Structure 1
């Protein structure tokens, strides 16, 4: 049941879907004219019929419908596992259920027209539909399902494009308004005819018998059921043998024809795939550690993505690799969630003044980096960076206040002394620096330049509380200490260093500042200057902290007094 190459199937699916979408758009636009009058609907229907009821238009429309339906069944057949994200499942369900909902309408309009040369217009169809609530509901549901299926398909195609975020609101508004106006037009026009048809509509040529139309309707439904049932039966028949896929922690057996991503889903193994398994991102990629030489070569879509990220020869996309022999793999990107760790409650940390340590962390040149990456990979890389920051901060004893763009704000000392808070903050900087080094090693093949961080840190009094409005309220800190830490993060960038830390933090942590590079800098809105140490590599603090025999004492007075 394999139809042409994978790329050719995708293009054909897209083209036939676009043709059907164009028909739906014209048909729904015609319905929307009911808001004006039934006469307006009839006049525009005549124009659309010139296109869609011509022989070329008929062949294009029903050919697209048939090919699109067969390709959907072929895709369902090849999927092997029915475990999939909800959006993918809805797209399939909507697409397969739609023909059953409209078959009666198609038979009574288009097929009768093909048999007799006469087809009902809006003056006949609207009263018939409106007089039967079940029929009207079924037709309305069919309209919504058809449009939803098309919108989901368009969304899967567009969401990876760089221009999509700029026009998202336009697309969303269009997607909502089209079916809404069509339904309103249908209702308004049908109600306007409740008083009876115009006198000019008394003439009616002979119609095909209801028995003939009934047989045609049943035949079409039987054919659709047979095609769907045959596809499901074919999926269940184990005729393709088994292969073994070995993961780092387990091994599974699957039928030949499974993609590695489908094998993971079937076995319940978490496996990232942001683009839905279409080869448009590289988040599902795996490193093949054994058995690569016996596997099929990468298709065009897979090669394009792997080339884009400069992947080594032993890296493949799990959604595109359909192994024909046993192999061993190691997923490169984890599928664990980010940002679900507990935060302090409002009762524990709101509305009070405390001495805290504040850490600002920011990626350097990330905007330029993002322009060189696939959109999905940019999001994934940024989330992995945030995960590194979050684990380092929380592992050291602090909490994440917020993420801002590619930067993060962390707070230490909500439940500890200022001395412990500063020691924790310095520990976090060491862990962050090492975590970024690990990211650079993992993404070495796809980064033109390694990720670089700039951190600023200060300690002092601040107001801690839940600030904001409604659901936008969150734990945060405000005050001069936060402003100073933010300024120090910018100071680290100016000196091409990993960390700019105030001498207050170092002294509170029990370390010495003697003999280290330091500057007295002015902070906007703050009197005096702030003694600041420039640290080019945060690892330098590890030895000092290990050698420290105890906590330091607080400075005699805050810097800048």
Structure 2
């Protein structure tokens, strides 16, 4: 827009100049227009006209000079960070303590990359030459969550304007030597669809059958469930005795990941029916499962012992999914899906939603209580 305005201004000036050259009388009339009849006022107008140009340039030059002086002072305004080993680093005001550590190539833990999504970069303030800025909303929330004392701050958020002495509280040597990338070691935050499955009645099965029989039956079921996850494009994460967790949407579109999880649940129900038919002589009560599905942010990465890590996820979304699975017992259905997953999958259904309360979560959550038939209908 400014460029177009300047071009228009230049075009108008060229037009006026061309007319003035071809029509001198018009030019004289234009110059005479607006000249006061009073001689004194006309003289004053002429004086102001003579001074207007130089004065304007002087004002512009003064403003420019003031701005340059201010920028110079800002660039040269500095503070010092002193570490516990008496190493002192000087840096321009505006940098965070974490950025100062990185500039000086000092090892400083920061799992989330300096976004106040963790507290691994926290430092203890051992001394300061003046007032430090108050913690922002993100930093204050993170510090409250770990009940940090008043002299502890997040290095990624603290941007001092005065000299400060700090002591990092988490030593960077805690990073496993067998990993090299932060994302590889600590995972990355992303939106995923999480599926939790729990086997109903596994405890009574163990009480009435021999251990090897239980192993055989459970392995048969887990093999069928894991195959359903694989066929649906999900990632088998881990299992806990009588349940498993799977992740969807790690390397595909959000909507496709959510729909894949729903298709996986349908495949599990169909596979379970087939497995129960094959094991009809082995089971007093057919296998039954409860499934919870939710879509949300989680930290996804390889976790566990360095030699045998697994792809897994942690975070509030994972806890929510596990509690949705538990809700299947209360609602008397095999599947509970959060409304977030339905929206992510692009599914608009006229079926009524349930409002459920989940342990550890304020307020209620809208969910769909489904069985195999209703799940098939919404996927069509």
User: With structure 2 as the length reference, what TM-score do the two structures score?
Assistant: 0.50
The structure whose Rg is larger is 2
Higher percent of residues as helix: 1
Q: Larger relative contact order (C-alpha < 8 A, sep ≥ 6)? A: 2
User: With structure 1 as the length reference, what TM-score do the two structures score?
Assistant: 0.34
